[in-house]
């Protein structure tokens, strides 16, 4: 046998990582305890859907840095709530179950077990005693309860309308789930329109608050902007024009405009093809054309209709309306560029000052009347003028600035009773019903005698029955409709025969309140315990991807405001601070996904390098918010670093004195490192935290021969392990225990630093001549700048640049530099 006289063992993370995982769990190291007197910190990741594909290192880009924060905050003395649960309902889960021909219940359970295993593998410190699952009856019971609350408060309603239908998902989608006319899950699947009766939540009631309180959020600017655009608040006026049909009957047509100042320039009205007055107003001569156009518009896909490139088309209705300001007669047209779902579904067309109206007028030879004159020299040319200017051709309002005219004309309209200031939103109500199996059944019963009856709270949950055939049908009905045992029930009001609602709730309803369930995950009498929720919520730091900018993140804000109004929670925003992690791309540059064939699993990385190397590399790879590219060789760097740490932090006898200069240098380095890493972690800069630690270990490597058997070395190594503990929990714990550190390193306090010890004994002063570096002066920290200035001016390296020149100015920056300006 070869003699392997190595002083220490090699760094082999597989030898001890599993051991610590078990021990941490046994010792309940990460259990969050309600109502501790310590300050609380609620750290949460977006609610994940446990996919059969399992986790990739792309997911680690979210979970690892968040876990680092959780561990850091615990060491800072916070009572940290860092829970995990499963957004297990929903289409992807159901589709996967269909594909595998396994009931979704079973499939989900297996996926959850795998996710959990993978998360533990990576050393995440979730409190698993608070694990929740949205597809369990003890959870969705309360999702249903919230639906009833919405209904009670008048915020849930049923309505018929043309809705987006994805032929692949075989269900209706919410507006937020339609992307440029395509399904958000099937990006090559155009959505179609179906006329169906659906359930909605009245999110538009909260549009103003959802918009205004964005200002108070510490969220990425991008997300705030996207929400602001999505809500799309426009201010202007609603103006009532009076239309007459060919028989001489009058009908009011309200229009919404953001430019009431241009009303004198309105030369025709345009109604949406679906506008209810179209049928009434169409003249006998025009009726044929009008109906043909309406049918064509109905057939158009959303993509065709939304295309801005396409020429504007329309048809004259055969009727006229009176402009309430001018008394002028204007023709009424229909055109598909006017949408029924926005504003009033009708507009006054001002071709001189609106590009769309201009194009329409040009095509159909309708009159154009200029009423806003731009400043002199303003670009004339093609198209509508939408800029600022002075009002002309507008009777008594001539000469006013356009902004003044907005107010003046709105006031005049109000005075005459034909208009008023108005606000319109792009945001529509949230469509929450889905014609799919795998979701929370909507707790409603239809009785022939009593009509629609909510299921009483004490009869919740309405259980989702196991179904043999749970795949969606072609008929636009939920598979639940095929189960007579589910459908047929007794009316809760009269006891007579009744039918259950068979649609299920959008999964975004599940994720709109889950963050509160974590406060008291086992509560049986309420969705959450009010005191526990008051203690833990709102979320102090919420972390997830930017793809949920206008879906989940809007819905759960809405839910929170409703809950606040219901007295359930004392705050109106669920997550005052939000951060988005960047996307992890595979080595081939594509987003990491199974279909791109570039998935790297945490399992394979952990097997090869250990979890700490994975964690450190994920942190080191780049800024948290930035996208990253997985470089399979890049991890070597952090792995080598950890191997060196392993080697230098082995327990060592203390039997030598340290050399004083080295000891001081090490002490300073430790203090500086604590200071920097503290600032880095607070600022979410995990990449520089790791590089700071690498610098420290490089320095220690250099000082090691001089110091490794001195007391200061032992102290420094302990400090280093403490700073590393949140980033690399396993190696820190293993070395800590080998060194006899006592209780788990993860129960230790975050190290303090001494400001004085972060300052070097000497300072380096840069000497510039005309901004170019010519010399560097090493002077004692205490040296005053006046003396430094003299030294700089007399520096031999600087002299040649001063020769024959006149010194015009000397700029002195404290402890930093001297810049000599010469002419």
Segment 115-174, which members bind RNA (CB under 7 A)?
A: none
SS3 label, residue 458: helix
Q: What is the rounded distance in angstroms from the CA atom of residue 82 to the CA atom of residue 811?
A: 52
Among 345, 479, 538, 610, binds RNA (CB under 7 A): 345
The single residue among 256, 486, 508, 556 that binds RNA, judged by CB under 7 A, is 256
In the region spanning residues 262 to 281, those forming contacts with RNA, defined by CB under 7 A, are: 272
Phi, then psi, of 467 in degrees rounded to 5: -125, 140
CB of 119 to RNA, least distance (A): 24
Angstrom CA distances, 765 to 301, 363, 808, 819, stand at 69, 72, 20, 10
Q: Compose the 360-399 pattern: x for residues touching RNA by CB under 7 A, - for all others.
A: ----------------------------------------
Of 149-157, 344-352, 525-533, 655-663, which part binds RNA (CB under 7 A)? 344-352
**3-state SS, residue 496:** coil
Closer of 588 and 701 to RNA (Cβ): 701
Token pair listed for 562: 């409703």
Query: Least distance from C-beta 396 to RNA, angstroms?
Result: 22
CB of 207 to RNA, least distance (A): 12
CB of 37 to RNA, least distance (A): 36
How far is Cα 341 from Cα 21, in angstroms, rounded to an integer? 54
Closest C-alpha among 332, 313, 315 to residue 266: 332
Query: What are the contacts of 665-668 at 24+ separation with CB within 8 A?
Result: 665/699, 665/703, 666/699, 666/700, 666/703, 666/707, 666/712, 666/713, 666/716, 667/712, 667/716, 667/757, 668/757, 668/758, 668/759, 668/760
Binding of RNA by 337 (CB under 7 A): yes
Helix (H, G, I), strand (E, B) or coil at 809: strand
348 Cα distance to chain centroid: 37
Query: Using the rule CB under 7 A, which residue among 8, 117, 153, 222 binds RNA?
Result: 222
Q: What are phi and psi of 706, to 5 degrees?
A: -80, -25
Query: Judged by CB, which is closer to RNA: 33, or 208?
Result: 208
Q: How far is the CB of 186 from RNA (least distance, A)?
A: 15
Q: Which stretch binds RNA (CB under 7 A): 141-149, 362-370, 745-753, 763-771?
A: 763-771
What is the closest distance, in whole angstroms, from the C-beta atom of residue 356 to RNA in the complex? 4
Contact 336, 304 (CB under 8 A): no
Q: Which of 493, 622, 652, 779 binds RNA (CB under 7 A)?
A: 622
* Per CB under 7 A, 100 contacts RNA: no
Binding segment for RNA (CB under 7 A), chosen from 407-415, 450-458, 736-744, 760-768, is 760-768
β-pairing, 430-431 vs 192-201, is antiparallel
Out of 372, 614, 628, 725, name the contact with RNA by CB under 7 A. 628
Considering the rule CB under 7 A, would residue 545 count as an interface residue with RNA? no
* Binder among 65, 85, 273, 343 for RNA (CB under 7 A): 343
Tell me the pairing of strands 628-629 and 584-585. Answer: parallel
Instruction: Using CB under 7 A, pick the residue from 51, 234, 242, 791 that binds RNA.
Output: 234
Stretch that binds RNA, among 121-129, 409-417, 561-569, 619-627 (CB under 7 A): 619-627
Contacting residue, 457, 776, 787, 805, with RNA by CB under 7 A: 776
What is the smallest separation between the CB atom of 435 and RNA, expressed in angstroms? 24
Distance of CA 124 to the CA centre of its chain: 22
Residue number with CB closer to RNA (311 or 525): 311
CB environment 768-779: b (16+ within 10 A), e (fewer): bbeeeebbebeb
The CA-atom distances, in angstroms, between 374 and each of 352, 689, 753 are: 12, 55, 63
Closest separation in Å from C-beta 770 to RNA: 6
- Contact between 535 and RNA per CB under 7 A: no
Closest CA to 806 of 766, 774, 770, 767: 770
Coil, helix or strand at residue 390? strand
Q: Which stretch binds RNA (CB under 7 A): 17-25, 156-164, 553-561, 771-779?
A: 771-779
- Counting Cα atoms < 13 Å in the Cβ hemisphere of 502 gives 23
Site map (CB under 7 A) of RNA, residues 411-450, x = contact: -------------x-x------------------------
Site for RNA in 674-703 (CB under 7 A): 685, 687-688, 690-691, 694-695, 698, 701
Applying CB under 7 A, the span of 28-36, 253-261, 498-506, 721-729 interacting with RNA comes to 253-261
The verdict on 641 binding RNA (CB under 7 A) reads yes
| Count of residues that interact with RNA, criterion CB under 7 A | 80
Q: Which of 772, 796, 804, 823 binds RNA (CB under 7 A)?
A: 772
Q: Closest distance between RNA and the C-beta of residue 591, in Å?
A: 9
Alpha helices in 652-781 (DSSP H): 660-682, 686-707, 711-724, 729-738
Nearer to RNA, 412 or 689 (CB): 689
59 φψ region: left (φ > 0), alpha (ψ -120 to 50), beta (else): alpha
Q: Would you say 546 or 664 has its CB closer to RNA?
A: 546
> Can residue 588 be called a binding residue for RNA (CB under 7 A)?
no
787 binds RNA (CB under 7 A): no
Residue of 238, 336, 665, 708 interacting with RNA (CB under 7 A): 336
Q: CA–CA separation, 385 vs 391, rounded Å?
A: 12
In the bound complex, what is the minimum distance in angstroms from residue 687's beta carbon to RNA?
A: 5
Return d(Cα 66, Cα 155) in angstroms, integer.
Answer: 35
Piece of 394-402, 600-608, 723-731, 809-817 that binds RNA (CB under 7 A): 809-817
**Which of 673, 719, 768, 795 is in the footprint of RNA by CB under 7 A?**
768
User: How many helices, marked H, and strands, marked E, lie in the chain?
Assistant: 26, 33
Site string for RNA, 291-330 (x = CB under 7 A): --------------xxxx-x-x------------------
Q: Which is nearer to RNA, 47 or 230 (CB)?
A: 230
CB of 97 to RNA, least distance (A): 28
Q: Which two tokens stand for residue 790?
A: 């003299």
Residues 175-204 that bind RNA (CB under 7 A): 179-180
The reply on whether position 770 binds RNA by CB under 7 A is: yes
Among 92, 137, 190, 232, the residue binding RNA under the rule CB under 7 A is 232
Task: Supply the minimum distance, in Å, between the C-beta of residue 588 and RNA.
Answer: 13
Give SS3 for 766: strand
- The span from the CA of 292 to the CA of 338, in Å, is 17
CB 198 within 8 A of CB 187: no
Minimal distance, residue 353 CB to RNA, in Å:
9
Nearer to RNA, 175 or 322 (CB): 175
DSSP letters spanning 575-608: -SBEEEPPPEE-TTSSBS-GGGT----HHHHHHH
Contacts for 782 with CB less than 8 Å, ≥ 6 apart: none
The binder of RNA chosen from 535, 629, 715, 753 (CB under 7 A): 629
How near is the Cβ of 228 to RNA at its closest, in Å? 9
Tokens of 505: 């709730």
CB of 300 to RNA, least distance (A): 9
Residues 37-66 binding RNA (CB under 7 A) are none
Q: Counting every residue, how long is the chain?
A: 823
d(CA 478, CA 484): 13
């Amino acid at each position: 046998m070869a003699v392997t006289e190595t002083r220490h063992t090699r760094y082999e993370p597989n030898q001890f990582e599993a051991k610590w995982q078990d021990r941490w769990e046994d010792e309940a190291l990460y259990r969050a305890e309600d109502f501790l007197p310590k300050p609380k910190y609620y750290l949460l990741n977006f609610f994940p859907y446990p996919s059969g594909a399992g986790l990739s290192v792309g997911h680690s880009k979210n979970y690892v840095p968040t876990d680092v924060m959780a561990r850091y905050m615990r060491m800072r003395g916070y009572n940290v709530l860092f829970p995990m649960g499963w957004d297990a309902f929903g289409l992807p889960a159901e589709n996967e179950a269909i594909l595998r021909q396994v009931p979704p219940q079973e499939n989900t359970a297996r996926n959850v077990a795998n996710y959990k295993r993978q998360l533990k593998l990576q050393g995440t410190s979730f409190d698993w005693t608070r694990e929740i699952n949205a597809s369990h009856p003890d959870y969705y019971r309360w999702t249903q309860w919230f639906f009833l609350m919405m209904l009670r408060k008048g915020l849930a309603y049923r309505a018929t309308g043309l809705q987006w239908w994805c032929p692949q998902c075989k269900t209706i989608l919410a507006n937020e789930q339609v992307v440029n006319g395509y399904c958000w899950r099937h990006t090559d699947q155009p959505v179609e329109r179906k006329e169906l009766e659906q359930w909605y939540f009245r999110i538009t009631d909260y549009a103003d608050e959802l918009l205004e309180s964005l200002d108070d959020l510490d969220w990425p600017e991008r997300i705030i902007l996207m929400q602001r655009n999505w809500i799309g608040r426009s201010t202007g006026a609603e103006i009532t024009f009076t239309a007459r049909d060919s028989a001489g009957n009058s009908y009011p047509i309200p229009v919404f405009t953001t430019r009431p100042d241009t009303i004198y320039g309105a030369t025709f009205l345009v109604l949406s093809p679906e506008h209810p007055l179209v049928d009434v107003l169409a003249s006998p001569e025009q009726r044929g054309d009008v109906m043909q156009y309406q049918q064509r518009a109905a057939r158009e896909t959303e993509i065709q209709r939304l295309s801005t490139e396409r020429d504007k088309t329309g048809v004259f209705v055969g009727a006229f309306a009176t402009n309430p300001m001018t008394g002028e007669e204007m023709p009424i047209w229909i055109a598909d560029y006017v949408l029924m779902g926005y504003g009033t579904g009708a507009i006054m067309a001002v071709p001189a000052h609106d590009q769309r109206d201009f194009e329409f007028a040009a095509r159909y030879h309708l009159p154009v009347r200029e009423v806003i004159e731009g400043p002199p020299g303003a670009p004339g040319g093609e198209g509508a003028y939408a800029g600022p200017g002075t009002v002309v051709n507008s009777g008594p309002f001539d000469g006013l600035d356009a902004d003044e005219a907005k107010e003046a004309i709105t006031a005049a309209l109000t005075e005459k009773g034909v208009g008023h200031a108005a606000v319109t939103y792009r945001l529509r109500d949230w469509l929450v019903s889905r014609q799919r199996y795998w979701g929370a059944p909507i707790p409603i019963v239809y009785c022939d005698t009593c009509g629609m009856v909510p299921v009483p709270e004490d009869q919740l949950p309405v259980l989702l029955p196991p179904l043999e055939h749970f795949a969606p049908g072609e008929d636009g009905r939920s598979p639940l409709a095929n189960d007579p045992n589910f459908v047929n029930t007794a009316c809760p009001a009269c006891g007579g025969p009744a039918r259950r609602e068979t649609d299920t709730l959008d999964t975004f309803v599940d994720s709109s309140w889950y963050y509160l369930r974590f406060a008291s995950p086992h509560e049986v009498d309420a969705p959450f315990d009010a005191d526990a929720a008051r203690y833990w919520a709102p979320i102090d730091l919420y972390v997830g991807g930017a793809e949920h900018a206008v879906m989940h993140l809007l819905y759960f804000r809405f839910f929170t405001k409703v809950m606040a109004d219901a007295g359930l929670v004392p705050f109106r925003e669920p997550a005052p601070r939000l951060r988005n992690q960047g996307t992890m791309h595979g080595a081939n540059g594509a987003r990491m996904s199974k279909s791109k064939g570039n998935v790297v699993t945490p399992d394979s990385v952990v097997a090869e390098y250990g979890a700490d190397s994975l964690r450190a590399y994920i942190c080191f790879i780049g800024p948290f918010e930035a996208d990253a590219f997985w470089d399979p060789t890049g991890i070597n760097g952090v792995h080598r670093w950890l191997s060196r740490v392993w080697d230098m932090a082995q327990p060592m006898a203390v039997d030598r004195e340290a050399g004083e200069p080295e000891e001081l240098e090490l002490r300073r380095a430790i203090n500086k490192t604590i200071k920097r890493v503290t600032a880095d972690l607070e600022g979410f800069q995990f990449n520089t935290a790791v590089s700071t630690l690498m610098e420290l270990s490089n320095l220690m490597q250099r000082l090691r021969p001089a110091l490794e058997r001195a007391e200061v070395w032992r102290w420094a190594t302990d400090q280093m392990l403490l700073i590393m503990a949140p980033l690399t929990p396993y190696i820190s714990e293993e070395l800590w225990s080998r060194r006899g550190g006592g209780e788990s390193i993860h129960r230790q306090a975050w190290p303090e630093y001494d400001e004085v010890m972060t300052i070097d004994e000497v300072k380096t002063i840069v000497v510039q001549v005309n901004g170019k570096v010519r010399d560097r002066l090493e002077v004692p920290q205490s040296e005053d700048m006046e003396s430094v200035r003299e030294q700089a001016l007399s520096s031999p390296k600087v002299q040649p640049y001063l020769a024959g020149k006149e010194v015009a100015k000397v700029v002195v920056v404290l402890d930093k530099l001297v810049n000599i300006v010469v002419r």
